[in-house]
Structure 1
Amino acid sequence: MTVVTNGLQFIRFYPQFIQADTQFIHSIGRMFCRFLLSLIIVSMNVFINRTLFFFSKPEWWYHVLMMPLLFPLGNYYFIGTRYFDDTRVCLVGTAIIFVLYWISIVLLTLVVRSVIRWYPDVRQTLPRTFVMLVLVGLVTALLALFDVWVYSLVPLTGVRFSWETVKPIWALGLVFDVSMCLTLTMLYTYTKWHENQAETEQLKREALQHQFDTLKNQINPHFLFNSLNSLSSLIGEDTERAEQFVDQLAKVYRYLLQSNTRDLVPLRTELDFITAYINLLQTRHGNSLQVEQVVDPAYLESSLPPLSLQVLIDNAIKHNVMLADKPLYISIRTMPGGQLQVVNNVQRKTRRFETHRSGLANLMAKYRLLSTTPIGIEQTEVNFGVTLPLLTVSGVLTS
């Protein structure tokens, strides 16, 4: 009896269960469809964004302008006059050639960019253009076979896969290849020329700035005023030391005045100058400034820009505290591989200084004019170090 009662109740409420299950299934289906639609939209968005950034602005303009010319011409070669007479054939042919065109363009663009990476210099225009024409021609020949095969898969086009159909496409592709390669080569050459001109102008401005800063260093009134004050106090205290101070001051200013006439000076000459310069500074600052020089004699005949060491020492003094109980230590030493390293301990001043177009930045600009090896800078909480590549007349010194 219980079984029969339960059976009757199940039969009575079964339609409600079915309706509930159907609603649940429909809900799951709608959620899946929304998820699938969202995935498609996101994928299309990523594809469109990548495609937009894949081509440069001139390339976009070139391809947009070429499509109205190539689409009718290409379909005329493939389909004939039926492309212009039959609306359905026109729509199908345009859709096919649109897809094939952009597949071809992406592949050809990758080939062109590879050739440009192989021959990046403006002076390599002829070999770059020749290799580009050869590779683009080979890729175009293979794409022509693929295009004819795709057209032959659509009966409405009436295209059959045969050599008679392929040959006109090769002729059309040859015209397109020559046009594209010459256009892209001219655009690339102009772009590189413009970049070289901009870089040359920037280097000229940096060189003029360096010359201006060098002139300011030559007549540095602040340094001269401090030196004369130190000399005045020495004259009354120690005549012999005052005479030595005058000799060192004369040596320093003689070097400052001559520095603008040379791009490079021997390391030996720069060290002689910096020794005299340090002596003048230590006369004023005493034991609060301590400088160590450890130089391998093998590198004394190598070269560097004049006043390089003065710039680094002044930079260390400018940004750090110097006290008798907290001296500023500066180490000047040669490194294996032909490098000169200047390191100072960090004792930052509470007052901040404007570092734009600082002496260090000008020195870095000077090295960019003279060498392909940049200045190395390493800073920690304890030390600040600058590594200068030692140079020869022809470039970076190699050990």
Structure 2
Amino acid sequence: MKFVRLAGLILLLGIANLATAQDPEIKTPPVKSADTTIKRIMDEMQRIVDNDKQNASAIQALLSGRDFDNSTKYELIKNNIINASETYYLLNKKIIDLKSRTTTNNLDVFITSLNNPESKELGFSLSDRVVELVEKIILKGKTDKNDRDGKIVESTKSIINSPIFKSFTSLTPPLAIASSVMNFLHSVSVSNKAINQKSLQDFEKELNKYTIYYTALNDANQKFEFGLNFNKDQLALLQDNMYELLQFAATVLKSPLPPRGNKTIAETLNEYFLTFKKDNVVDFFKQLEDKYMIQKTKKIDYENLLRENPNLKEVNNQLEDLVLQTKRFENLYNEYFTLLDSYYAKVNNSLKLAMDNGLAEKSIIEAKQGEFRQLKTEAVNEIQASINIKELTTNVDKIKYRYRIF
């Protein structure tokens, strides 16, 4: 290029010199001036050549930068989606684990024993105490002398041992027994003049000391059960949201979700994650890279890959919703322990009521409170170890969803 331009310039100069020689009116410029002109032209030509080189370098750098930008986008999308597949799996696993929790077997046994009318965990059984109160306050110790009074005791025992109360699965048998015995004695007092209103009032006053304790314990259990059910409902809703969010990504990754049908959301997702693993997603991207590999250079054509698979960008951009779902799970996880703390406080309060009303000795109550505290600590440690929330948060931190790809 430089040679052609230089040849053209010399030709033009030659023509100019020829014209000057033929025209006597035109004076030949000094040689020095001609040399200056040629130098100036040569300098200009060199500048043009240098600019051409610079432009070529800039264009090449731009092209290289574009390729680098596409490869960066692809690697970001790829790593995000691979990490997200593991996050989906972990989130589902931990939701199921938390949904299955009540407390622990040992803690459940402890609470059940406290509420059992036959139990003597606090040094007494409600069943025995009710019979004793009937004999002492209602019958004033005359059960051996009066057969009718003996029947009252037997009827009281029959009420206490009723299969109806024993079949209760909720924590209310003691309260049901107290109410039923009280109703029975009121009905008997109509035909038995020996049972007066004062004795009934005295009996009810003593019985209320027990019902206050069991009512507080029952209230603690009911609120804990209500809180657990609400927590489970929220976890089920979280699974529904995860299913909807995963549908698009799963289709793009060539691993569509199974239809819900009559199955629960837990069954559907469990079935899906039996086969859909992080390795599946790694294989998907491996096949994609092989497809867009330029055989001559052994380099991936990232530009075509991204242009012909635009949904990959959308899957990446939707990962912000997945991260929000994991945050929701963390909140429900923390709410569970808040619920457990509240339950612990309420059960301790019921035990204190038993002590304040003289139902059990202080040493027994304090021992039970210590046992309950230990069981609660063990339950918390067991659940934390089982669910391992750190495993989930660490994986979520690998998802760079903040970098939206366009």
> TM-score scaled to structure 2, two decimals?
0.31
Instruction: Tell me which structure has the larger Cα radius of gyration.
Output: 2
Structure having the higher helix fraction is 2
Structure having the higher strand fraction is 1
